[in-house]
Amino acid sequence: MSKMLMISYYAPPILNAESILVAKTLKFLSKEYQIDLLTVGEETDFKQDPFLLEEMGGEVNVIRAANPKPSSRLMRKIYREAVARLSALDNPIWQRRAERAAIDLGGDYDVLYSRSQPGASHVVALRVKERYGTPWVAQFSDPWGHNPYHQLQGKAKRAVERLEQQVIERADHLIFPTLEMRDLYASVYRGADVENRSTVLPHHFDAALYQGGAAKKRDRKIVMSYIGDFYGLRSPAPLIKGLTFLKEKRPDLVERLELQVVGNVERTFHPLLEAAEKTLGVQVTRVGQVPFRKSLELMAESDLLLLVDAPSDVNLFLSSKLIDYLGAYRPILGITSTKGTAGRLLQSYGWQVHHPDDVQGIANALETYLSQLAQLQERARNTDIDAFRSESVVSELTAICERVRHR
Protein backbone atom coordinates (compact mmCIF):
# COMPACT_ATOMS: atom_id res chain seq x y z
CA MET A 1 0.00 0.00 0.00
CA SER A 2 1.27 3.50 -0.88
CA LYS A 3 2.41 5.79 1.94
CA MET A 4 1.02 9.25 2.62
CA LEU A 5 2.14 11.96 5.02
CA MET A 6 -0.88 14.08 5.90
CA ILE A 7 -0.36 17.40 7.72
CA SER A 8 -3.35 19.06 9.36
CA TYR A 9 -3.21 21.18 12.49
CA TYR A 10 -6.81 20.29 13.34
CA ALA A 11 -7.66 16.62 13.65
CA PRO A 12 -9.63 14.32 15.98
CA PRO A 13 -10.49 14.48 18.80
CA ILE A 14 -10.73 18.31 18.45
CA LEU A 15 -14.34 19.34 17.97
CA ASN A 16 -14.48 21.87 15.14
CA ALA A 17 -15.47 21.89 11.48
CA GLU A 18 -12.01 21.19 10.04
CA SER A 19 -11.34 18.33 12.43
CA ILE A 20 -14.70 16.77 11.53
CA LEU A 21 -13.79 16.96 7.84
CA VAL A 22 -10.44 15.35 8.58
CA ALA A 23 -12.14 12.50 10.46
CA LYS A 24 -14.57 11.78 7.62
CA THR A 25 -11.82 12.02 5.01
CA LEU A 26 -9.43 9.71 6.85
CA LYS A 27 -12.09 7.05 7.31
CA PHE A 28 -12.08 6.50 3.55
CA LEU A 29 -8.59 7.71 2.60
CA SER A 30 -6.97 5.20 4.97
CA LYS A 31 -8.46 2.40 2.85
CA GLU A 32 -6.22 3.55 -0.01
CA TYR A 33 -3.05 4.67 1.78
CA GLN A 34 -0.90 3.86 4.76
CA ILE A 35 -1.16 7.25 6.46
CA ASP A 36 1.01 9.09 8.95
CA LEU A 37 -0.97 12.10 10.26
CA LEU A 38 1.02 15.00 11.69
CA THR A 39 -1.23 17.19 13.82
CA VAL A 40 -1.41 19.18 17.04
CA GLY A 41 -1.47 17.72 20.53
CA GLU A 42 -3.83 19.11 23.15
CA GLU A 43 -5.74 22.18 21.89
CA THR A 44 -7.17 24.06 24.87
CA ASP A 45 -9.25 26.45 22.73
CA PHE A 46 -11.58 23.63 21.62
CA LYS A 47 -13.64 20.87 23.16
CA GLN A 48 -12.89 17.26 22.37
CA ASP A 49 -15.18 14.69 20.76
CA PRO A 50 -13.81 11.15 21.19
CA PHE A 51 -16.25 9.88 18.56
CA LEU A 52 -14.20 11.62 15.89
CA LEU A 53 -11.33 9.25 16.67
CA GLU A 54 -13.73 6.37 16.14
CA GLU A 55 -14.91 7.89 12.85
CA MET A 56 -11.31 8.36 11.68
CA GLY A 57 -10.54 4.72 12.42
CA GLY A 58 -7.54 3.00 13.94
CA GLU A 59 -5.51 2.54 10.76
CA VAL A 60 -3.97 6.02 10.86
CA ASN A 61 -0.63 6.55 12.63
CA VAL A 62 -0.93 9.88 14.46
CA ILE A 63 2.12 12.01 15.32
CA ARG A 64 1.29 14.96 17.58
CA ALA A 65 3.38 18.11 17.97
CA ALA A 66 2.63 20.24 21.02
CA ASN A 67 1.36 23.81 20.84
CA PRO A 68 1.45 24.85 24.51
CA LYS A 69 -1.03 27.51 25.60
CA PRO A 70 -2.15 28.83 29.00
CA SER A 71 -5.03 26.91 30.57
CA SER A 72 -6.89 30.08 31.57
CA ARG A 73 -9.20 31.56 28.91
CA LEU A 74 -8.11 35.09 29.81
CA MET A 75 -4.44 34.21 29.65
CA ARG A 76 -4.97 32.45 26.30
CA LYS A 77 -6.48 35.65 24.94
CA ILE A 78 -3.46 37.63 26.12
CA TYR A 79 -1.18 34.93 24.71
CA ARG A 80 -2.85 35.06 21.27
CA GLU A 81 -2.53 38.84 21.16
CA ALA A 82 1.15 38.61 22.09
CA VAL A 83 1.83 35.95 19.44
CA ALA A 84 0.03 38.07 16.84
CA ARG A 85 2.35 40.98 17.62
CA LEU A 86 5.51 38.88 17.55
CA SER A 87 4.76 36.63 14.58
CA ALA A 88 2.96 37.09 11.30
CA LEU A 89 2.22 33.36 11.24
CA ASP A 90 -0.43 31.45 13.10
CA ASN A 91 0.74 28.89 15.67
CA PRO A 92 4.50 29.52 15.23
CA ILE A 93 5.53 27.22 18.10
CA TRP A 94 3.57 24.31 16.65
CA GLN A 95 4.87 25.07 13.20
CA ARG A 96 8.52 24.84 14.26
CA ARG A 97 7.95 21.62 16.21
CA ALA A 98 5.89 20.10 13.41
CA GLU A 99 8.60 20.99 10.86
CA ARG A 100 11.20 19.14 12.95
CA ALA A 101 8.89 16.15 13.35
CA ALA A 102 8.11 16.06 9.63
CA ILE A 103 11.78 16.23 8.63
CA ASP A 104 12.63 13.50 11.15
CA LEU A 105 10.00 11.24 9.59
CA GLY A 106 12.10 11.26 6.42
CA GLY A 107 11.18 11.37 2.76
CA ASP A 108 9.89 7.83 2.33
CA TYR A 109 6.37 8.90 1.31
CA ASP A 110 4.62 8.52 -2.03
CA VAL A 111 2.49 11.61 -1.54
CA LEU A 112 2.23 14.60 0.80
CA TYR A 113 -1.24 15.99 1.64
CA SER A 114 -1.79 19.16 3.69
CA ARG A 115 -4.96 20.91 4.79
CA SER A 116 -5.80 24.34 6.15
CA GLN A 117 -6.97 26.24 8.11
CA PRO A 118 -4.64 27.20 9.73
CA GLY A 119 -2.05 28.01 7.10
CA ALA A 120 0.74 26.65 9.30
CA SER A 121 -0.09 23.16 8.03
CA HIS A 122 0.81 24.20 4.49
CA VAL A 123 4.03 25.87 5.66
CA VAL A 124 5.14 22.62 7.30
CA ALA A 125 4.32 20.76 4.07
CA LEU A 126 6.28 23.36 2.12
CA ARG A 127 9.39 22.56 4.20
CA VAL A 128 8.93 18.84 3.53
CA LYS A 129 8.59 19.55 -0.18
CA GLU A 130 11.75 21.64 -0.15
CA ARG A 131 13.69 18.95 1.72
CA TYR A 132 12.50 15.75 0.02
CA GLY A 133 10.64 16.79 -3.14
CA THR A 134 7.63 14.64 -2.23
CA PRO A 135 4.62 15.03 -4.59
CA TRP A 136 2.33 17.45 -2.75
CA VAL A 137 -1.43 18.16 -2.73
CA ALA A 138 -2.51 21.24 -0.72
CA GLN A 139 -6.18 21.63 0.18
CA PHE A 140 -7.70 24.92 1.35
CA SER A 141 -10.98 24.85 3.31
CA ASP A 142 -10.90 28.65 3.78
CA PRO A 143 -8.73 31.39 2.28
CA TRP A 144 -5.57 31.96 4.26
CA GLY A 145 -4.00 35.31 3.42
CA HIS A 146 -7.09 36.74 1.75
CA ASN A 147 -9.94 35.91 4.10
CA PRO A 148 -12.46 38.80 3.91
CA TYR A 149 -13.52 38.24 7.53
CA HIS A 150 -9.97 38.05 8.96
CA GLN A 151 -8.03 40.66 7.05
CA LEU A 152 -4.34 41.09 7.75
CA GLN A 153 -2.51 44.40 7.68
CA GLY A 154 1.00 45.74 7.14
CA LYS A 155 4.00 43.50 7.75
CA ALA A 156 1.87 40.54 8.84
CA LYS A 157 -0.07 40.65 5.58
CA ARG A 158 3.09 40.83 3.45
CA ALA A 159 4.77 38.00 5.38
CA VAL A 160 1.75 35.70 5.09
CA GLU A 161 1.31 36.49 1.41
CA ARG A 162 4.96 35.63 0.70
CA LEU A 163 4.54 32.25 2.35
CA GLU A 164 1.17 31.66 0.75
CA GLN A 165 2.64 32.42 -2.66
CA GLN A 166 5.36 29.83 -2.07
CA VAL A 167 2.70 27.27 -1.12
CA ILE A 168 0.62 28.08 -4.19
CA GLU A 169 3.65 27.89 -6.50
CA ARG A 170 5.37 24.82 -5.00
CA ALA A 171 2.41 22.51 -4.37
CA ASP A 172 1.92 20.07 -7.25
CA HIS A 173 -1.86 20.38 -7.05
CA LEU A 174 -4.30 22.64 -5.21
CA ILE A 175 -7.80 21.86 -3.97
CA PHE A 176 -10.47 24.46 -3.17
CA PRO A 177 -14.04 23.88 -1.94
CA THR A 178 -15.60 26.56 -4.19
CA LEU A 179 -15.10 28.03 -7.63
CA GLU A 180 -15.09 31.50 -6.07
CA MET A 181 -12.17 30.62 -3.80
CA ARG A 182 -10.21 29.14 -6.68
CA ASP A 183 -10.85 32.26 -8.76
CA LEU A 184 -9.71 34.46 -5.86
CA TYR A 185 -6.35 32.67 -5.72
CA ALA A 186 -6.05 32.65 -9.50
CA SER A 187 -6.51 36.44 -9.58
CA VAL A 188 -4.05 37.11 -6.75
CA TYR A 189 -1.30 34.74 -7.93
CA ARG A 190 -1.59 35.19 -11.68
CA GLY A 191 1.78 33.68 -12.49
CA ALA A 192 1.06 30.40 -10.67
CA ASP A 193 -1.39 29.00 -13.28
CA VAL A 194 -3.84 28.19 -10.47
CA GLU A 195 -6.74 27.30 -12.78
CA ASN A 196 -4.82 24.51 -14.52
CA ARG A 197 -3.19 23.20 -11.34
CA SER A 198 -6.27 22.95 -9.15
CA THR A 199 -9.54 21.12 -8.57
CA VAL A 200 -12.75 22.36 -7.00
CA LEU A 201 -13.74 19.57 -4.62
CA PRO A 202 -16.69 20.00 -2.23
CA HIS A 203 -16.97 18.95 1.38
CA HIS A 204 -18.73 15.65 2.00
CA PHE A 205 -21.01 13.74 4.37
CA ASP A 206 -20.77 10.20 5.72
CA ALA A 207 -24.22 8.67 5.23
CA ALA A 208 -23.50 5.90 7.74
CA LEU A 209 -23.55 8.40 10.62
CA TYR A 210 -27.19 9.47 10.38
CA GLN A 211 -29.64 7.71 12.65
CA GLY A 212 -33.42 7.46 12.43
CA GLY A 213 -34.14 9.54 9.37
CA ALA A 214 -37.51 10.96 10.39
CA ALA A 215 -38.44 14.17 12.16
CA LYS A 216 -39.81 13.66 15.65
CA LYS A 217 -43.57 13.97 16.08
CA ARG A 218 -44.28 16.95 18.30
CA ASP A 219 -47.42 18.63 19.58
CA ARG A 220 -48.03 20.90 16.57
CA LYS A 221 -44.56 22.43 16.93
CA ILE A 222 -42.45 22.96 13.82
CA VAL A 223 -38.78 22.70 14.74
CA MET A 224 -36.51 24.90 12.64
CA SER A 225 -32.87 24.26 13.51
CA TYR A 226 -29.71 26.25 12.99
CA ILE A 227 -26.64 24.10 13.60
CA GLY A 228 -23.65 26.36 14.13
CA ASP A 229 -22.42 29.43 15.96
CA PHE A 230 -23.66 33.00 15.97
CA TYR A 231 -20.69 35.36 16.29
CA GLY A 232 -19.24 38.48 14.69
CA LEU A 233 -21.14 39.30 11.49
CA ARG A 234 -22.99 35.97 11.49
CA SER A 235 -26.06 37.16 13.36
CA PRO A 236 -29.59 35.88 14.05
CA ALA A 237 -30.92 39.42 13.38
CA PRO A 238 -32.03 38.81 9.74
CA LEU A 239 -33.99 35.75 10.82
CA ILE A 240 -35.62 37.55 13.75
CA LYS A 241 -36.55 40.50 11.53
CA GLY A 242 -38.07 38.10 8.99
CA LEU A 243 -40.09 36.41 11.71
CA THR A 244 -41.28 39.83 12.90
CA PHE A 245 -42.63 40.59 9.41
CA LEU A 246 -44.25 37.16 9.23
CA LYS A 247 -45.87 37.61 12.66
CA GLU A 248 -47.85 40.56 11.32
CA LYS A 249 -49.16 38.52 8.38
CA ARG A 250 -49.38 34.95 9.69
CA PRO A 251 -49.24 34.84 13.50
CA ASP A 252 -50.66 31.30 13.34
CA LEU A 253 -47.45 30.07 11.69
CA VAL A 254 -45.07 31.89 14.01
CA GLU A 255 -46.75 30.67 17.19
CA ARG A 256 -46.25 27.06 16.06
CA LEU A 257 -42.52 27.55 15.58
CA GLU A 258 -39.65 26.35 17.73
CA LEU A 259 -36.26 27.81 16.81
CA GLN A 260 -33.50 25.44 17.88
CA VAL A 261 -29.97 26.88 17.96
CA VAL A 262 -27.30 24.19 18.25
CA GLY A 263 -23.98 25.92 18.82
CA ASN A 264 -22.33 28.80 20.60
CA VAL A 265 -24.09 32.17 20.69
CA GLU A 266 -22.01 35.30 21.26
CA ARG A 267 -23.23 37.19 24.31
CA THR A 268 -24.17 40.23 22.24
CA PHE A 269 -26.90 38.14 20.56
CA HIS A 270 -28.46 36.73 23.75
CA PRO A 271 -30.87 39.69 24.22
CA LEU A 272 -32.00 39.41 20.59
CA LEU A 273 -33.03 35.77 20.98
CA GLU A 274 -34.62 36.42 24.37
CA ALA A 275 -36.62 39.35 22.98
CA ALA A 276 -37.80 37.23 20.04
CA GLU A 277 -39.17 34.63 22.40
CA LYS A 278 -41.04 37.24 24.44
CA THR A 279 -42.38 39.46 21.66
CA LEU A 280 -42.96 36.93 18.88
CA GLY A 281 -44.04 33.94 20.92
CA VAL A 282 -41.45 31.75 19.21
CA GLN A 283 -40.05 29.03 21.43
CA VAL A 284 -36.26 29.47 21.33
CA THR A 285 -34.22 26.46 22.43
CA ARG A 286 -30.49 27.06 22.80
CA VAL A 287 -28.71 23.73 22.95
CA GLY A 288 -25.09 24.89 22.83
CA GLN A 289 -22.26 23.02 21.14
CA VAL A 290 -22.81 19.26 21.01
CA PRO A 291 -20.68 16.30 19.84
CA PHE A 292 -20.69 15.79 16.08
CA ARG A 293 -22.83 12.64 16.10
CA LYS A 294 -25.43 14.43 18.25
CA SER A 295 -25.54 17.35 15.80
CA LEU A 296 -26.39 14.96 12.97
CA GLU A 297 -29.10 13.41 15.13
CA LEU A 298 -30.62 16.84 15.77
CA MET A 299 -30.50 17.65 12.05
CA ALA A 300 -32.35 14.48 11.17
CA GLU A 301 -34.98 15.11 13.84
CA SER A 302 -35.67 18.70 12.73
CA ASP A 303 -38.53 19.71 10.46
CA LEU A 304 -36.40 22.16 8.50
CA LEU A 305 -32.87 23.55 8.62
CA LEU A 306 -31.37 27.02 8.42
CA LEU A 307 -28.10 28.10 6.85
CA VAL A 308 -27.09 31.56 8.11
CA ASP A 309 -23.98 33.33 6.83
CA ALA A 310 -22.46 36.74 7.39
CA PRO A 311 -23.54 39.38 4.84
CA SER A 312 -21.39 39.49 1.71
CA ASP A 313 -21.75 40.36 -1.95
CA VAL A 314 -20.29 37.06 -3.11
CA ASN A 315 -19.98 34.16 -0.68
CA LEU A 316 -16.53 32.59 -1.15
CA PHE A 317 -17.19 29.86 1.39
CA LEU A 318 -18.86 26.47 1.43
CA SER A 319 -19.85 25.50 4.94
CA SER A 320 -19.20 21.83 5.69
CA LYS A 321 -22.35 22.04 7.81
CA LEU A 322 -24.39 22.68 4.65
CA ILE A 323 -23.20 19.39 3.17
CA ASP A 324 -24.10 17.63 6.42
CA TYR A 325 -27.53 19.26 6.10
CA LEU A 326 -27.96 17.65 2.67
CA GLY A 327 -27.20 14.27 4.21
CA ALA A 328 -30.06 14.76 6.68
CA TYR A 329 -32.59 15.03 3.79
CA ARG A 330 -34.41 18.03 5.26
CA PRO A 331 -35.69 21.24 3.65
CA ILE A 332 -33.07 24.00 3.88
CA LEU A 333 -33.58 27.76 3.89
CA GLY A 334 -30.47 29.77 3.07
CA ILE A 335 -29.93 33.21 4.59
CA THR A 336 -26.77 33.92 2.64
CA SER A 337 -25.59 35.61 -0.53
CA THR A 338 -27.35 34.44 -3.67
CA LYS A 339 -23.96 34.70 -5.39
CA GLY A 340 -21.54 31.91 -4.56
CA THR A 341 -21.38 28.14 -4.25
CA ALA A 342 -23.68 27.82 -1.23
CA GLY A 343 -26.43 29.87 -2.86
CA ARG A 344 -26.10 28.07 -6.21
CA LEU A 345 -26.10 24.68 -4.54
CA LEU A 346 -29.25 25.35 -2.53
CA GLN A 347 -31.06 26.84 -5.49
CA SER A 348 -30.11 23.86 -7.65
CA TYR A 349 -32.12 21.69 -5.25
CA GLY A 350 -35.05 24.11 -5.30
CA TRP A 351 -34.40 25.64 -1.88
CA GLN A 352 -34.81 29.36 -1.35
CA VAL A 353 -31.82 31.63 -0.75
CA HIS A 354 -32.05 35.22 0.44
CA HIS A 355 -29.33 37.72 1.28
CA PRO A 356 -29.25 38.62 5.02
CA ASP A 357 -30.32 42.17 4.06
CA ASP A 358 -33.44 40.92 2.23
CA VAL A 359 -35.73 40.83 5.25
CA GLN A 360 -38.96 40.78 3.24
CA GLY A 361 -37.65 37.91 1.12
CA ILE A 362 -36.73 35.98 4.27
CA ALA A 363 -40.23 36.58 5.68
CA ASN A 364 -41.89 35.35 2.47
CA ALA A 365 -39.65 32.28 2.40
CA LEU A 366 -40.50 31.45 6.01
CA GLU A 367 -44.19 31.65 5.15
CA THR A 368 -43.71 29.25 2.24
CA TYR A 369 -41.63 26.77 4.23
CA LEU A 370 -43.92 26.73 7.26
CA SER A 371 -47.17 26.55 5.30
CA GLN A 372 -45.96 23.98 2.72
CA LEU A 373 -43.77 21.92 5.02
CA ALA A 374 -45.09 18.46 4.10
CA GLN A 375 -44.51 18.98 0.37
CA LEU A 376 -41.03 20.38 0.94
CA GLN A 377 -40.09 17.49 3.21
CA GLU A 378 -41.14 15.06 0.52
CA ARG A 379 -38.95 16.89 -2.00
CA ALA A 380 -36.02 16.73 0.42
CA ARG A 381 -36.39 12.99 0.85
CA ASN A 382 -36.06 12.52 -2.91
CA THR A 383 -33.03 14.70 -3.63
CA ASP A 384 -30.04 13.14 -5.40
CA ILE A 385 -27.01 14.01 -3.28
CA ASP A 386 -24.71 11.12 -4.17
CA ALA A 387 -22.04 13.52 -5.45
CA PHE A 388 -21.49 14.75 -1.87
CA ARG A 389 -21.12 11.36 -0.22
CA SER A 390 -17.74 10.76 1.41
CA GLU A 391 -17.11 7.75 -0.81
CA SER A 392 -17.49 9.87 -3.97
CA VAL A 393 -15.48 12.89 -2.84
CA VAL A 394 -12.61 10.96 -1.25
CA SER A 395 -12.42 8.75 -4.34
CA GLU A 396 -11.79 11.90 -6.38
CA LEU A 397 -9.22 13.06 -3.83
CA THR A 398 -7.45 9.72 -4.16
CA ALA A 399 -7.43 10.04 -7.94
CA ILE A 400 -5.82 13.50 -7.62
CA CYS A 401 -3.13 12.15 -5.32
CA GLU A 402 -2.41 9.30 -7.70
CA ARG A 403 -2.09 11.62 -10.70
CA VAL A 404 0.31 13.83 -8.77
CA ARG A 405 2.57 11.02 -7.59
CA HIS A 406 2.81 9.41 -11.05
CA ARG A 407 3.78 12.57 -12.94
Please, are residues 351 and 334 in contact by the beta-carbon 8 Å criterion? yes
What's residue 358's pLDDT? 97
When the pLDDT of each residue in the chain is averaged and rounded to a whole number, the result is: 93
Please, are residues 3 and 33 in contact by the beta-carbon 8 Å criterion? yes
Mean pLDDT of the region 118-139: 97
What's residue 215's pLDDT? 58
Per-residue burial over 43-54, b = 16 or more CB atoms within 10 Å of its CB, e = otherwise: beeeeebebbbe
111-116/257-262 β-pairing = unpaired
Q: What percent of the chain has pLDDT over 70?
A: 97
Of the candidates 74, 20, 22, 6, the residue with the CA atom closest to the CA atom of residue 45:
74
What's residue 222's pLDDT? 95
Give the start-end residues of each E strand in 146-209. 173-176, 198-200
User: How is the chain split into domains, by residue range?
Assistant: 3-204+389-405, 208-386
Fold of 3-204+389-405: Rossmann fold (3.40.50)
The model's pLDDT over 353-400, given as tens digits with 9 standing for 90+, comes to 999 999 999 999 999 999 999 999 999 999 999 999 999 999 999 999
Of the candidates 132, 133, 135, the residue with the CA atom closest to the CA atom of residue 114:
135
What's residue 219's pLDDT? 61
Asked if the model's pLDDT at residue 213 lies above 70, the reply is no
The model's pLDDT over 225-280, given as tens digits with 9 standing for 90+, comes to 999 999 999 999 999 999 999 999 999 999 999 999 999 999 999 999 999 999 99
Q: For 208-386, CATH number?
A: 3.40.50.2000
Of the candidates 294, 388, 380, the residue with the CA atom closest to the CA atom of residue 21:
388
- Rg for the chain, CA atoms, rounded: 22
The model's pLDDT over 50-109, given as tens digits with 9 standing for 90+, comes to 999 999 999 999 999 999 888 888 888 887 777 767 676 788 899 999 999 999 999 999
Asked if the model's pLDDT at residue 212 lies above 60, the reply is no
What's residue 216's pLDDT? 60
For residue 290, with 0-12 CB atoms within 10 Å meaning exposed, 13-18 middle and 19 or more buried, which class applies?
middle
Task: Quickly list DSSP for 8-44.
Answer: -SS-TTB-SHHHHHHHHHHHHHTTTSEEEEEEES--T
Amino acid symbol at 125: A
What's residue 83's pLDDT? 73
pLDDT band at 156 (very low <50, low <70, confident <90, very high): confident
What's residue 71's pLDDT? 81
Of the candidates 236, 224, 227, the residue with the CA atom closest to the CA atom of residue 274:
236
Matching fold, domains 3-204+389-405 and 208-386: yes
Please, are residues 261 and 234 in contact by the beta-carbon 8 Å criterion? no
Contacts for 370 with CB less than 8 Å, ≥ 6 apart: 222, 250, 253, 256, 257
Query: For the whole model, what pTM was predicted?
Result: 0.94
| Residue 344 CA, distance from chain mean position | 17
Mean pLDDT of the region 321-339: 96
Asked if the model's pLDDT at residue 117 lies above 60, the reply is yes
What's residue 153's pLDDT? 72
